[in-house]
Amino acid sequence: MQPVAEAVVDLDAVAHNTRLLSGLAAPRAQTMAVVKANGFGHGLLPVARAALAGGATWLGVTSIAEARTVRDGGIGAPTLAWLFGTGDDFAWAVRNDVDLSVSTPRHLEAMPAGAAVHLKVDTGLTRNGVAWADWPDLVARAADLERRGTIRVRGIWSHLAAADDPGNPSVALQLERFDEALAVAAKAGLEPELRHLANSAGIVDLPASHYDLVRAGLALYGVEPIDGVTAGLRRAMTLRARAVNVKRVPPGTGVSYLHQYVTDRDTTMVLVPAGYADGVPRLLSNRGAVAIGGRRCPIAGRVAMDQFVADAGDLDVALGDEIVLFGPGDGAEPTVEEWAAWAQTNPHEILTGIGARVPRTYIGKEHVHG
């Protein structure tokens, strides 16, 4: 039975993007595929397999729960988890070869014997990461624990605040601060094999940030991370639906809640079976568009929980006809970037917001691997 709404994920696009990003990275740098948040809404395990097939050597996840999904899915690739409290099941991570990020002195002390850790320093994002004032003491303590054989410091890392804004002065300051942090760690006796700073924008536009490992997040899914810079990425997700009601209405017809859209002519209204419970932002009401029959059609009136209406004008539309909400942008369909602009947000929120009741359908030769 064909679903009335689905997210079609092109795993070949994910593999292509991985190869492209890996090729942009410095020759010595490995590539981490960031598959957190259910692979940015695309499906963690299928995306992880496609990225690994495309040349990624590491996987990045937020939580130990996400790391469990990776391992339970039979994927043994090196994996880093980086956001948790001090009481999580770190012992499970050690038993299953999952590296753990350390962002506070308390997290360091909570690491069990045998843990492989990546020390995260806050270089200016002022989000997660060890506070700059605590860094010297933390690396000294980590070096002591490593000498005792308690832990292994495999990496030192940080995260950029504005790499997607070329020329932003914070970028140079963070690079300088990261190099200072590495020097402090080296003075304490730490020589980690992996130093990593670059996110998607850093991979594309900031070679100085590549070090030993780059982390591909949004770009992995085909969204260009810097406005105006085209790296050749392919968008991986197409959100589509089937018309479940079609009706011809006269001028002066109010559409959807509060009649905030009123027709000015004879026109065709098409009911799309997806709403804000599925990840269609309410801000697309009277603002967004979809593609029907190769033509853009505006969203008419308010987006509801389960459905919205598109004004198809004089198009000949029948029940079951395909509606493309967003896609690769090869035709008339909007892109996820356009949806994000209409919703006054970023593509990350649109992609990760596609609801669980929207089935994911996988296409591409990489799908045969899982």
Confirm whether 120 is a catalytic residue.
no
Cβ contact 60:34 at 8 Å: yes
- 36, 120, 276, 362: the catalytic one is 36
Q: Indicate the pairing of strand 98-102 with strand 79-81.
A: parallel
Cα 220 to Cα 161: distance, rounded to the nearest angstrom? 19
- 187, 247, 257, 365: the catalytic one is 257
What b/e string do you get for 132-147 counting C-beta neighbours within 10 Å, with b at 16 or more?
eebbeebbbebbebbe
- As a 3-state breakdown, the chain gives helix, strand, coil percent values, each rounded to 5, of 35, 25, 40
User: CB burial class (10 A; 0-12, 13-18, 19+) of residue 311?
Assistant: buried
Cα 90 to Cα 110: distance, rounded to the nearest angstrom? 8
SS3 (DSSP) at 195: strand
Q: Is residue 45 within a helix (H) or strand (E), and if so which, with residue range?
A: helix 44-53
Confirm whether 221 is a catalytic residue.
no
What b/e string do you get for 93-112 counting C-beta neighbours within 10 Å, with b at 16 or more?
bbeeebbbbbbbeebbebbe
Residues tagged active-site: 36, 257
